[in-house]
């Protein structure tokens, strides 16, 4: 009889991670049902529904969509109970996944829960651990400094390294513009993020073009299902490059003179490609008002958090303006030494996040509970 695994992902990065991990599970031995998106679908994994339907940003968006989310949570709980998996494997998305897993565990305590991407209790709301320690059987950690924190809470954990960093990139060649440098702009994968950052980036492009007189072409790495949304913001007069798959994204980031990226997983993609990086982040004033008093760390970028100093420049909330981003970007664009030092410094920290066989460790942990 096949062993059953139910996978929960909440956004594009989780879908990508899950797609890389499922290759370790043969279809003759395992039956997998998932909440995911394009990457898992491409691996021929059956989807309960698309994870983009539960990807909301911040307190305000969650409140506005609370009835939709509640309906999805209840539907997922019922589907898991009907499916009867040996293991629920969730990746990030704690606001959704933990509510589901908690209810399932109450009804069926023998179903094991393995969760990848630890809740950032080291950054805010550490007491959340009291809640999820009751239903998570094994927590898989991306960063080495997290282990001591979860040991203190007596939650079984393993540092597996970050899956995005385990293998060297094999670059394919694509079109490169002549006589122009590339600047990569990363607005995020959620609709709410795109709505915030695309207007900022369009105004930034106008300012860069007005000062540097058509020296640059701009690259937007976006998931396929967000491409049309991003393009809506871009005037026809702009010359841009869009990448929707990993090969294109890596090639154009690697060949960029600078990347300006929304804080999140994309920052590690940029760092892996050794491109100079500026981190930006902005949410609604409503979200920021509630979140800021609870945050215990000084930085938003995980590289800076691990280093406990600002290695990668951060422009957060009120500092995330076109003028301030342009001022910082100008320093990078006009000074090669700043770019070189930026990459050298963050690479030292990035190397501490790596393990050579991350996906295999994750897969074997899941198999151990089947």
Q: Give the residue carrying structure tokens 């490059």.
A: 241
Domain spans, the chain? 3-166+356-367, 181-353
Helix (H) or strand (E) holding 202: helix 191-212
Four-way CATH pick for 181-353: 3.40.50.2000, 3.40.50.300, 2.60.120.10, 3.40.50.1820: 3.40.50.2000
Task: Tell me the pLDDT of the chain (370 aa) as tens digits.
Answer: 899 999 999 988 899 999 999 999 999 999 999 999 999 999 999 999 999 888 655 555 555 566 678 899 999 999 999 999 999 999 988 889 999 999 999 999 999 999 999 988 877 678 888 999 999 999 999 999 899 999 999 999 999 999 888 888 999 999 998 889 999 999 988 888 999 999 999 999 999 999 998 899 999 999 888 999 999 999 877 789 999 999 999 999 999 999 999 988 889 999 999 999 999 998 866 665 556 645 556 888 999 999 989 999 999 988 999 999 999 999 999 999 999 999 999 999 999 999 989 999 999 999 999 9
For residues 189 and 311, is the Cβ–Cβ distance under 8 A? Answer: no
Q: What angle do CA 82, 85, 90 make, to 5 degrees?
A: 110
Structure tokens belonging to residue 238: 């702009």
Are domains 3-166+356-367 and 181-353 of this chain identical in fold? yes
**Pairs from 339-347 (Cβ < 8 Å, separation ≥ 24):** 339/257, 339/258, 339/276, 342/276, 342/277, 342/311, 342/312, 343/274, 343/275, 343/276, 345/311, 346/271, 346/277, 346/303, 346/311, 346/312, 347/271, 347/274
CATH topology assigned to domain 3-166+356-367: Rossmann fold (3.40.50)
* Alpha carbons 13 and 193: distance in angstroms, whole number: 14
* Alpha carbons 94 and 149: distance in angstroms, whole number: 18
For residues 89 and 62, is the Cβ–Cβ distance under 8 A? Answer: no
Please spell the DSSP secondary structure of 234-248, one letter per residue.
S-TT--EEEE-SHHH
């Amino acid at each position: 009889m096949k062993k059953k695994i139910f996978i929960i992902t909440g956004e594009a990065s989780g879908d990508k991670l899950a797609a890389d991990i499922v290759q370790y599970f043969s279809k003759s031995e395992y039956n997998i049902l998932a909440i995911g998106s394009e990457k898992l679908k491409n691996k021929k994994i059956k989807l309960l529904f698309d994870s983009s339907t539960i990807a909301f940003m911040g307190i305000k968006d969650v409140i506005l969509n609370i009835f939709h989310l509640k309906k999805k949570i209840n539907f997922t709980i019922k589907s898991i109970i009907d499916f009867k998996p040996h293991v629920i494997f969730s990746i990030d998305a704690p606001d959704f996944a933990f509510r589901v897993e908690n209810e399932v565990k109450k009804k069926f305590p023998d179903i094991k829960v393995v969760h990848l991407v630890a809740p950032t209790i080291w950054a805010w709301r550490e007491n959340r651990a009291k809640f999820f320690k009751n239903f998570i059987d094994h927590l898989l950690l991306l960063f080495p400094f997290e282990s001591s924190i979860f040991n203190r809470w007596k939650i079984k954990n393993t540092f597996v390294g970050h899956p995005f960093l385990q293998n060297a990139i094999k670059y394919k060649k694509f079109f490169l513009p002549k006589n122009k440098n590339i600047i990569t702009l990363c607005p995020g994968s959620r609709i709410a993020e795109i709505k915030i950052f695309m207007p900022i980036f369009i105004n930034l492009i106008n300012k860069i073009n007005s000062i540097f007189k058509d020296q640059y072409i701009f690259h937007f790495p976006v998931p396929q299902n967000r491409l049309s949304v991003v393009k809506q913001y871009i005037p026809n007069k702009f010359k841009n490059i869009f990448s929707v798959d990993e090969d294109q994204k890596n090639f154009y980031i690697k060949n960029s003179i600078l990347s300006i990226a929304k804080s999140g997983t994309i920052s590690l993609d940029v760092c892996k490609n050794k491109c100079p990086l500026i981190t930006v982040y902005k949410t609604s004033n409503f979200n920021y008002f509630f979140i800021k008093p609870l945050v215990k760390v000084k930085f938003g970028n995980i590289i800076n958090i691990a280093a406990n100093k600002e290695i990668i420049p951060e422009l957060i909330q009120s500092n995330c303006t076109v003028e301030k981003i342009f001022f910082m970007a100008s320093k990078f664009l006009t000074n090669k030494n700043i770019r070189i030092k930026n990459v050298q410094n963050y690479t030292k920290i990035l190397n501490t996040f790596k393990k050579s066989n991350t996906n295999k460790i994750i897969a074997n942990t899941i198999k151990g509970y089947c």
